[in-house]
Amino acid sequence: MRLALVGATGMVGEVMQSVLKEREFPVTEFIPVASAKSAGKNLTWNGQSYLIVTPEEALKLQPDVAIFSAGGETSLEWAPKFAAQGCFVIDNSSAWRMDPSIPLVVPEVNPEALAMDSRIIANPNCSTIQLVMVLKPLHQRSPIKRVIVSTYQSVTGTGKAAVDQLENERQGIQGPTVYPHPIDKNCIPHCDVFLENDYTKEEMKLTLETKKILNDASVLVSATAVRVPVQGGHSEAVNIEFAGERPPMEDICACLRDFPGVTVLDDPTAKSYPMPRFAEGQDDVFVGRIRADHSHPQALNCWIVADNLRKGAATNAVQIAEELLRCGKLKA
């Protein structure tokens, strides 16, 4: 099992390394890949030292699977080249997600999408992954008509430079900035670029990716994405309206508890509810504050939290590779 990790030195790439080791993915040859700036340096993974190579060099090594976490431009250029020689590419960028010929996969939610004849598989947006993990069991129980989601997104979703900006601001240090405003002691309702419809790209990812993953274009999604001065995970306040009668609340909680990868933390009397500081480092999606919407008889409210670098990126990508093994597409 020759595995190439493209973007190995980045924030998500480092978490990918940890997840591969923790989940004991059967790697026999590890190929760390980065830009020319990092190529030639050594990287230690799983107790061994590996030479970082460029995408050109990695292609010559003919990996069986390549996990990309190096941005859309890199994926658009190199993913087809890896796929053309028989390599499965699991791409963490937004480059391929809405391509109808490319599966967009959360293994617990839509593993059947891997039946598509494609060597490139898209890893969804971090905010979308945690949302659909909660929507799927509820949609199976009773069809969902509409979702309104407001996100509270960690600076880690922007990358190391954003974490540095937050830390510098907290210490009163002048330094490079990646946000148009200070992030410490602030909330910025601006994730990614604004589009012509006045929504941001991040907000439209939530809308469009959710429909594709659930394989149901009738589900309406309206999103507001906000960056907050938090490390550890993304949080979402979600209002879910069912097409018909809202199921009993005990059924809703039971559906969520029974769904793999979802943990219900919902005991307000004990002050038990999901928070990013406790979700950090965990692979599950946490949901709480589950309650009937008193303003709408067919709706409910809930609060969803997950570590955006793990289930929102690295863990989901490795789970896709594991699913490729289970269904026999990838051979160990």
Helix/strand/coil for 45: strand
> In 3D, which of 131, 123, 122 has the Cα closest to residue 151?
131
Domain boundaries for CATH 3.30.360.10 within the chain: 127-308
Structure tokens given for 331: 């051979």
Each residue's pLDDT tens digit, 269-293: 999 999 999 999 999 999 999 999 9
Cα 92 to Cα 318: distance, rounded to the nearest angstrom: 11
Which of 97, 151, 102 lies closest to 124 in space, CA to CA?
A: 97
- In the sheet with 262-264, reading across from the earlier edge strand, the strands are 220-227, 144-153, 234-242, 299-306, 285-292, 262-264
Comparing CA positions, the residue from 145, 142, 135, 147 lying closest to residue 109 is: 135
* Residue in this structure with the two tokens 């890949």, named with its chain if needed: 33
The token pair at 74 is 């890199």
pLDDT in tens, 222-233: 999 999 999 989
* Token pair belonging to 55: 């995408």
Q: Which residue has the tokens 């160990």?
A: 332
In order of 21, 35, 66, 117, 225, the CA distances from 32 in angstroms are 14, 10, 10, 27, 33
Summarize the confidence of residues 247-256 as an average pLDDT. Answer: 98
User: What pLDDT shows up at residue 88?
Assistant: 98
Instruction: Identify the H or E element spanning 241.
Output: strand 234-242
Q: Which residues are known to be catalytic?
A: 126, 234
Distance between CA atoms of residues 150 and 226, nearest Å? 7
d(CA 131, CA 31): 32
Q: What share of the chain in percent tops pLDDT 70? A: 100
CATH number, span 127-308:
3.30.360.10
Q: What is the pTM of this model?
A: 0.97
pLDDT digits over 80-109, tens only?
999 999 999 999 999 999 999 999 999 999
Q: Quick one: pLDDT band at residue 134, thresholds 50, 70, 90? A: very high
Phi/psi of residue 110, each to 5°?
A: -140, 55
Q: Which single residue is written with the structure tokens 């009993």?
A: 248
Which pLDDT score is estimated for 332?
82
- pLDDT band, residue 18 (cuts 50/70/90): very high
299-306 vs 29-33, strand pairing mode: unpaired
- Give residue 208's pLDDT: 98
Nearest to 147 by CA among 159, 163, 136, 160: 136
Burial class (CB in 10 A: 0-12, 13-18, 19+), 275: middle
Q: What is the pLDDT of residues 180-217, one digit of tens each?
A: 999 999 999 999 999 999 999 999 999 999 999 999 99
Q: Tell me the C-alpha to C-alpha distance, in Å, between residue 5 and each of 29, 159, 165, 301.
A: 11, 17, 27, 38
Instruction: Provide the pairing of β-strand 2-6 with 29-33.
Output: parallel
SS3 91: strand
Which of 158, 222, 221, 163 is closest to 191 using CA atoms? 158
Rounded mean pLDDT, 253-266: 98
pLDDT digits (tens, 9 = 90+) for 293-332: 999 999 999 999 999 999 999 999 999 999 999 999 998 8
Q: In terms of residues, how long is the chain?
A: 332
Residue closest to 126 by CA, chosen among 287, 270, 258, 310 = 310
CATH topology of domain 2-124+313-326: Rossmann fold (3.40.50)
Express each pLDDT in 27-69 by its tens digit: 999 999 999 999 999 999 999 999 999 999 999 999 999 999 9
Domain with CATH 3.40.50.720 in the chain: 2-124+313-326
Is 235 within 8 Å of 131 (Cβ atoms)?
no
pLDDT at 42: 97
Q: What share of the chain is helix, strand, coil (3-state, %, to 5)?
A: 35, 25, 40
- How confident is the model at residue 251, as a pLDDT? 97
